[in-house]
Amino acid sequence: MDSTRRNLIVGLSAISVGSIAASLTAGARPALATPVTAAGNAARNAGGQTVRRAVAYGTNAGYQKDASGSPQMAFVRRKEYFLPYNLKAGELIEFSFPLWTLERPPRSPVLEVDLAEAYDFMLSMEYPFNDNSASSPDLANRYRCLNTRDDKAIYSYVPGQADRMMVFTVKAPADIPAFTAIGGILLHECVAGRSGAVKNKAINSVVNASTFIGRRDGSFNATTSLIADDPTMTRTTFHAANAGQTGNPGTMLVGAIRIAVPAHAVAIMSMGNSKLQGANEGTAGSGTFGDGGGDRCGNTGWGTRLAYKLRLGCVQMSRGADSYNYQLISGVSRRMEFAAWCNPTHLLPCDPHNDTSQTSTPAWSQKTWAVDDTCRVNGNAYIADAGGASGSVAPSGTGRNIVDGDVRWTFIGPDDMASTAGMSLAGKMRKLFRQYRAAMPDVKIIPPTLTPDTTSSVNASAYTYDSDTGALTLTIPDASKLLLKSNVRVAGLTPKTFNTSWKNYAPIAAINGNQITVNLPVGLSSPIGNASVNLTWSDPSYQSPRSGYAAHVSFRSWINRFLRTNPNGALDMVICADAGKWGEAGNPTTPAAETGAWAALPTDGASPGGAFTSDGTHETSQGNDYIATRLAADPALVQVLQKAD
């Protein structure tokens, strides 16, 4: 341990519990009112050496809103986290919970929405983390945390208050080795008199929400106040969520955990979406969705896995279906403030797979142009560095600071995209990256390239069902490359029991020519309808790239080339994380070689146990892990990731 870290420990050991809040406000922790443009730098102490950074894994999940109004209950959220640095006894650990969620109502952009009800919250840290049982774990190893706003164990929230997030603090009860599990146990309840006539109420969100309201790990079923009855959280067990709880309740999750680390320590923040965060978990070769993750990383997308493989800190700030379009429309002010509090050294933005639909990039003409506008002219694409009225002669050349009346252009690549749409995304990326830079002046921005997006659906010309054995046999155009135990999805049949869920693909039990058989429940009524079959994605020959993902003139290929080459330094980035190279068959790095097909890893003719993707869009755990492994072996990327300054 270096002297910077050692001196910090000596200082913290002398701080009493009663003075924690004042110490953090005056020193390591910036006040919540601190402007986001200064918050990253304010996280450094007066000597400029010790840095507090968020080094835990966040979450993303979405649930239906419970509008029934009953039953009401209080929740305990219990989750394990892994800090990639050694902690000494007495060091402060900060747990941050944003008091807002990201919601995406149907056909609407992502919105930053404050919690709608008043709640009291209480947090305890569990160490050692001792998960004896999924239904009734031992919660004996707990240490009460104090919120840093008023030095109390209970944090009270009222909608409309100025705080954007609540922060709890606890002293490390012992030396905690790096990558050792600790638990975050949050108790919260709706407050009678401030949010209606109930004491206990689930925190819910609309469909496709949220960053910090997540899975049902467990709860107390109760109609009386738990916080008032149990202010020190002395209960030793909790009960798992059960069917008696209507709706799909989501419980609060730790947004980030921040600890003091050496000045050279690295913490990666993912502002990515489902691609980096692991939205297709729960399918072939996967754990469960997102925050419930099937491995030590919690979230199992390649972004988190990459950080874990390099033994670096990582915090997630992502949600499925997030995009540059949404973030620019709805604003990301709350996210920027939270990002600044996390004080990361590196930032992984969105994979642009949700941005393939763009306004066509206009041809150059004499008019008024704004900063970050893009145009096409004479086979080239340009982006405006300075806006104003253009001159009478169109820009030309492949350099930067190209004078056109009042406008200044930078060349960003050839105009060879079939749809002309992707170039406009370059302008949106630059606008959003400026917001990142304002909140985190020193962060290194590392955008990812796009991975494929395909379909492999075919129609079955015939099918039979044996109600005695449960065997469903389907005749498809080509089964020559399918393998026993490969996963397929069946759709279009009635009753719906015949249709396998997107999270529960059926393994092939038998192959006979172009007939495949999957095993379903016995005793079903005879199916009717037009059956379609989604074949395995483990063989690229079955894949049909979706619009914008096919040839070298596609949106995907243009954006990947732009990120790989970053002509004239047009985008504020250090390097790209080339996930597309390792997710795609053939490992292409040039647009002409783009196939838009997912990679396959067959071994000796046997099924690899799961494809790179089981829905054609998102990576499975196998795909995420392979991409992360390859990126962790990229010398240029690793060199950037391992340097804090």
Token pair of 84 as six digits: 């990639």
Q: Cα separation of 57 and 304, whole Å?
A: 8
Q: Cα separation of 404 and 501, whole Å?
A: 56
Rounded average pLDDT over 171-178: 94
Q: What is the mean pLDDT of the chain?
A: 76
Q: Which residues 6+ apart lie within 8 Å of 169 measured at CB?
A: 20, 21, 24, 92, 93, 94, 95, 145, 146, 147, 148
CB 354 within 8 A of CB 321: yes
Report the pLDDT value the prediction gives residue 247, as an integer from 0 to 100.
Answer: 33
Selection from 163-167, 336-340, 390-394 with the highest mean pLDDT:
390-394
**Amino acid sitting at position 417:** M
CATH of domain 266-358+428-449+552-591+618-645: 3.40.50.1110
Strand order across the 444-445 sheet? 313-316, 267-270, 346-348, 444-445
Report the pLDDT value the prediction gives residue 77, as an integer from 0 to 100.
Answer: 61
Task: Classify each residue of 52-62 as buried b or exposed e, where b means 16 or more C-beta atoms within 10 Å of its C-beta.
Answer: bbbbbbbbbbb
Cross-strand partners of 101:
113
pLDDT in tens, 446-459: 999 999 999 888 99
Look up the pTM and report it: 0.82
The residue to which tokens 């270096």 are assigned: 2
Q: Which of 70, 69, 72 shows the shortest CA–CA distance to 224?
A: 72
Report the pLDDT value the prediction gives residue 427, as an integer from 0 to 100.
Answer: 96
Q: Which residues 6+ apart lie within 8 Å of 36 measured at CB?
A: 333, 336, 337, 340, 438, 439
Q: Cα separation of 552 and 561, whole Å?
A: 10
Q: Within a 10 A sphere around the Cβ of 197, how many other Cβ atoms?
A: 8
Task: Give the lowest-confidence range in 130-139, 162-171, 594-603.
Answer: 130-139
pLDDT in tens, 351-395: 998 888 888 899 999 999 999 999 999 999 999 999 999 999 999
Selection from 163-167, 297-301, 500-504 with the highest mean pLDDT:
163-167
- Look at residue 398 and tell me whether its pLDDT is greater than 90: yes
pLDDT band, very low/low/confident/very high, at 209 (cuts 50, 70, 90): very low
Stretch (H or E) spanning 556: helix 555-565
Helix ranges (DSSP H) in 15-78: 20-26, 36-42
**What class is the 361-418 domain?**
mainly beta
Cross-strand partners of 474:
463, 516
* Pairing between β-strand 487-494 and β-strand 267-270 as defined by DSSP bridges: unpaired
Q: Within a 10 A sphere around the Cβ of 528, how many other Cβ atoms?
A: 11
Q: State phi, psi for 346 to the nearest 5 degrees.
A: -135, 150
Q: Cα separation of 501 and 52, whole Å?
A: 44
Q: Within a 10 A sphere around the Cβ of 344, how many other Cβ atoms?
A: 28
Q: Which residues 6+ apart lie within 8 Å of 560 measured at CB?
A: 449, 450, 580, 591, 594
- Look at residue 34 and tell me whether its pLDDT is greater than 50: no
Percentage of residues in the chain with pLDDT exceeding 90? 35
Q: How far is CA 381 from the centre of its chain?
A: 31
Q: Cα separation of 369 and 440, whole Å?
A: 28
**What class is the 457-535 domain?**
mainly beta
